[in-house]
């Protein structure tokens, strides 16, 4: 909910969720679809692409293919994408800017390093780069998001997807897998 409110989305707009097969990405796809957005996603495996389509995306692209950005551009046409939810900004941000529509927004959710961008790429389209973190939400905002998510699960438009499961004593292995893994399918959880 916080991701989409930060992006000021409107029904009918398009959203690209980079890394859509992970827990946050799948939830973003489901919520975006419930908001009436045209949902595109990326995933790096066939299994990931399948699960993204099953969780609200209208179309999915393999971000491991060299020309996947060209495929996205061809799919969306000249208009571009209104909102991009970015899980790995240090890899994708420069490419994201080339995909945006006029007034488009990149919402940075994840990052693992630095990247060089050309600010002119934001100027011509009057686009924005917005960083978000749930921890900056007020208590009231957090309660609103929690209530909306709870309602979504009760009604059925939000269905959390469970990925890898680790017993608590293997927390170090889970951490290693999430940092060094080649991608996720669903939300990784620790079992008590």
Task: Phi first, then psi: give them for residue 151, nearest 5 degrees.
Answer: -60, -40
Q: Is residue 165 part of a domain?
A: no
Q: Is residue 50 part of a domain?
A: yes
Looking at residue 3, its pLDDT comes to 66
Please state, in angstroms and as integers, the Cα–Cα distance from residue 69 to each residue in 10, 16, 148, 150, 167, following that order.
Answer: 24, 11, 33, 35, 38
Task: Phi first, then psi: give them for residue 7, nearest 5 degrees.
Answer: -85, -10
Domain that holds residue 116: 1-160
Q: Is residue 173 part of a domain?
A: no
Alpha helices, H only, 83-138: 89-99, 120-123
**How would you write the pLDDT of the chain (192 residues) with one tens digit per residue?**
566 778 889 999 999 999 999 989 999 999 999 999 999 999 999 999 999 999 999 999 999 999 999 999 999 999 999 999 999 999 999 999 999 999 999 999 999 999 999 999 999 999 999 999 877 778 888 788 778 778 777 888 878 778 788 889 988 888 887 777 766 677 778 888
Q: Is residue 97 part of a domain?
A: yes
Looking at residue 135, its pLDDT comes to 79
How many independent structural domains does the chain possess?
A: 1
Burial class from Cβ neighbours inside 10 Å (0-12, 13-18, 19+) for residue 120 reads: exposed
d(CA 11, CA 115): 31
Looking at residue 96, its pLDDT comes to 97
- CATH code at 14? 3.40.50.720
Q: What is the DSSP string of 17-82?
A: ETTTTBHHHHHHHHHHHHTT-EEEEEESSHHHHHHHHHTT-SEEEETTSTTHHHHHHHHH-TT-EE
């Amino acid at each position: 909910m916080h991701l989409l409110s930060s992006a000021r989305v409107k029904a009918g707009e398009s959203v690209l969720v980079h890394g859509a097969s992970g827990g946050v990405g799948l939830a973003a796809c489901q919520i975006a679809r419930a908001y009436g957005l045209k949902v595109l996603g990326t995933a790096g495996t066939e299994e990931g692409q399948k699960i993204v389509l099953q969780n609200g995306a209208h179309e999915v692209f393999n971000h491991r293919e060299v020309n996947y950005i060209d495929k996205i551009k061809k799919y969306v046409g000249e208009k571009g994408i209104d909102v991009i939810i970015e899980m790995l900004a240090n890899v994708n941000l420069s490419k994201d800017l080339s995909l945006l529509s006029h007034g488009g927004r990149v919402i940075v959710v994840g990052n693992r390093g630095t990247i060089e961008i050309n600010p002119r790429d934001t100027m011509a389209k009057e686009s924005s780069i917005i960083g978000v973190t749930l921890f900056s939400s007020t208590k009231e905002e957090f309660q609103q998001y929690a209530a909306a998510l709870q309602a979504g699960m009760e009604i059925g438009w939000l269905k959390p997807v469970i990925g890898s499961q680790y017993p608590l004593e293997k927390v170090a292995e889970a951490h290693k897998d999430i940092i060094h893994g080649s991608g996720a399918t669903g939300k990784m959880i620790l079992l008590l």
